[in-house]
A and B are shown apart, each in its own frame.
Chain A
Amino acid sequence: MYTDKVMDHFTNPRNVGSIDDANGVGEVGNASCGDIMKIYLKVEDNIIKDVKFKTFGCGAAIATSSMVTEMAIGKTIEEALELSNQAVAEALDGLPAKKMHCSNLAADALHEAIKNYKEANG
């Protein structure tokens, strides 16, 4: 059902955890659909220096969260805002059709975290 890349990110997720002095935090999803993703950012000079995630959800939700952190690190805020859920799914060599909408929210969580950073840092 899942690609090797999804399995790899599920088995060895990158950047799990939280950042104590994060300057942007974003959260999407809800308990009723079974997926909640939370992204922590450390932004310096408009560049994402560090990203961490915590996810409650299925294998796809964990893998997309892990993948988005890898993709976002080192990017500027503007570049990170261009990352789409679709791009995250593609970077994982695709997700099963039924996972595309509910478990593929990682880019949204990243964007929420950036929004939170911008609000706090004008």
Chain B
Amino acid sequence: MKQIYLDYNATTPVRPEVLEAMLPFYKEQFGNPSSVHWAGRAVAGAIEKAREQVAALLNASPAEIVFVSCGSEGDNMAIKGTLEALKGKGNHIITTAVEHPAVLETCQYLEKNGYDVTYLPVDCDGRLNLEDLEAAITDQTVLISVMWANNETGNIYRIEEIGAIAKKHNIRFHTDAVQAVGKLPIDVQKANVDLLVLSGHKIGAPKGVGAIYVRRGSRMVPLLHGGHQERNRRAGTQNVAGIVGLGVACEIAAAEREEVYQRMRTLRDKLEDGLLAQIPEIKLNGTPDRDHRLPNTLNVSFAYIEGESLLMNMDMHGIAASSGSACSSGSLEPSHVMGAMCVEITLAHSSTRFSLGPETTEEEIDTVLEVLPAAVQRLRDMSPLYNCGKSSSEACLICETVRRI
């Protein structure tokens, strides 16, 4: 059976060029970049090259890039580091209800420690109202944190406009761009972003490496104390091979982004149109405006069925996707993103995300379009919610809780 991977928002395979560039740093180029001798010097140069490659993708300068271990670390560092550095100025953060847990849980942690956090609501399509954002600003607000694009729905937020608001009020602006980098054009100058986080494993680099852009002059307390690496901003001997890989992945992204956008967009649109046309009682989660959604992401709910069982059914056909159901997230509640969008509870349990990558082919999308209608129907035929009350005279309490789409 052919394996079809449609979970690129979870993680991506390492690009062959990236791996190739990394290998010497596990072999002959083993030095510690902080060492003064020949072994260290060669490696230090490689890190600085990667810093330039990352900076170029973001329109930043290399000195503004700090390498970290993952997106979650970058988000923690940006938020905690800024709040602590600006302790005398205020204690209020504005963020959104749909952030990744790396941001949400960090904010909740700070709330327990005396900070105030505003979680901006979104509408039923997951969109943010920027008037709400501006209205939430107080004289205590020191940080606005809004993701560039949402990992579950693919919704793209109006980062340039938010950056302008933050600048007008002289408030620091952090954006979790883990899902946006590599898929969308990113320009930290144009967007007035002060802090931006990206993660290697979402863009064809390995797991265990990420970067944070810190605008020159933005004071931040480090998360990790210790050695003087990364200009005292992040202690710890660098993951040299990972950083080299991240640099190459960013260079590839800069070169291929526009072409890859078009390719993924065409295939995603085909998948979206095909599923919506073939499967009745299906709901799109996220904004219907495709220009304001990541080109690779499609999130849909199928009435009457649960997400994990659909994932298992697709897995039987070699198709890998992901779900916002409680069962697949490992918690008891379905996705907080679906909750924030007021998606009805059984539909939230059935939310299914397809995320395409540069390697996705039309043949793969055709297979999904072939397999999915029957898989959904199979589970519907097993569901007590489907056709409930229609086929016989039996009373049904539960179907009253299932709102029609």
Using CB atoms and an 8 Å cutoff, list the residues of chain A in contact with chain B.
Answer: 10-11, 13, 16, 18, 20, 25, 27, 30-38, 54-62, 98-99, 102-103
Residue B52 at the chain A interface, CB threshold 8 Å: no
Contact A55-B383, Cβ < 8 Å, known A33-B326, A33-B332, A62-B309: yes
Are B385's CB and A102's CB within 8 A? Answer: no
| B contact residues around A13 at 8 Å (CB) | 382
| A contact residues around B392 at 8 Å (CB) | 18, 20
A sample of 28 inter-chain contacts (CB < 8 A) reads A10-B312, A11-B316, A13-B382, A16-B382, A18-B391, A18-B392, A20-B392, A30-B398, A31-B398, A31-B401, A32-B345, A33-B332, A34-B325, A34-B326, A35-B306, A36-B385, A55-B383, A56-B304, A57-B309, A58-B307, A58-B309, A58-B325, A58-B327, A58-B328, A59-B308, A61-B306, A98-B330, A103-B327
Are B398's CB and A55's CB within 8 A? Answer: no
Residue B285 at the chain A interface, CB threshold 8 Å: no
Q: How far is the CA of A38 from the CA of B346 in the complex (A)?
A: 16
In the complex, how many angstroms separate the beta carbon of A65 from the nearest chain B beta carbon?
9
Contact A56-B306, Cβ < 8 Å, known A25-B394, A27-B384, A34-B325: yes
Are A56's CB and B346's CB within 8 A? Answer: yes
- Nearest-CB residue, chain B, relative to A2: B312
12 other A-B residue contacts (CB within 8 Å) besides A31-B398, A36-B384: A10-B309, A10-B312, A25-B394, A31-B349, A31-B401, A34-B326, A34-B346, A35-B306, A54-B382, A54-B384, A59-B327, A99-B327
Are B312's CB and A37's CB within 8 A? Answer: no
| B contact residues around A27 at 8 Å (CB) | 384, 397-398
| A contact residues around B305 at 8 Å (CB) | 56
Q: How far is the CA of A89 from the CA of B316 in the complex (A)?
A: 22
Are B308's CB and A55's CB within 8 A? Answer: no
Are A56's CB and B401's CB within 8 A? Answer: no
Residue B259 at the chain A interface, CB threshold 8 Å: no
Q: How far is the CA of A115 from the CA of B306 in the complex (A)?
A: 27
Are B306's CB and A58's CB within 8 A? Answer: yes
| B contact residues around A103 at 8 Å (CB) | 327
Residue B381 at the chain A interface, CB threshold 8 Å: yes
Are B309's CB and A54's CB within 8 A? Answer: no
In the complex, how many angstroms separate the beta carbon of A30 from the nearest chain B beta carbon?
8
Q: In chain B, residues 137-161, which have Cβ atoms closer than 8 Å to a Cβ of chain A?
A: none
| A contact residues around B357 at 8 Å (CB) | none
Please pick, from A32, A34, A54, the residue contacting B383 in the complex, using a CB distance under 8 A.
A54
Residue B402 at the chain A interface, CB threshold 8 Å: yes
Contact A56-B326, Cβ < 8 Å, known A31-B345, A31-B402, A32-B345: no
Are A36's CB and B382's CB within 8 A? Answer: no
Are A56's CB and B330's CB within 8 A? Answer: no
Contact A37-B316, Cβ < 8 Å, known A20-B392, A31-B402, A58-B309: no
**At the interface, is chain B mostly helix, strand, loop or mixed?**
loop
**At the interface, is chain A mostly helix, strand, loop or mixed?**
mixed
Map CB proximity to A onto B372-405 as digits: 1 under 8 Å, 0 otherwise: 0000000001111100000110100110011000
The interface centre, meaning the residue of A33, A55, A57, A99 with most chain B CB atoms within 10 A of its CB, is: A57
Contact A57-B330, Cβ < 8 Å, known A34-B325, A36-B385: no
- Nearest-CB residue, chain B, relative to A62: B309
| A contact residues around B394 at 8 Å (CB) | 25
Q: How far is the CA of A31 from the CA of B398 in the complex (A)?
A: 8
Q: How far is the CA of A59 from the CA of B309 in the complex (A)?
A: 5
Residue B247 at the chain A interface, CB threshold 8 Å: no
Q: How far is the CA of A38 from the CA of B231 in the complex (A)?
A: 62
| A contact residues around B295 at 8 Å (CB) | none
Q: How far is the CA of A77 from the CA of B307 in the complex (A)?
A: 34
Are B327's CB and A34's CB within 8 A? Answer: yes
Are A56's CB and B381's CB within 8 A? Answer: no
Q: How far is the CA of A11 from the CA of B315 in the complex (A)?
A: 11
Q: How far is the CA of A16 from the CA of B327 in the complex (A)?
A: 22
Q: How far is the CA of A81 from the CA of B392 in the complex (A)?
A: 27
Q: How far is the CA of A62 from the CA of B327 in the complex (A)?
A: 13
Q: How far is the CA of A55 from the CA of B381 in the complex (A)?
A: 9
In the complex, how many angstroms separate the beta carbon of B386 from the nearest chain A beta carbon?
8
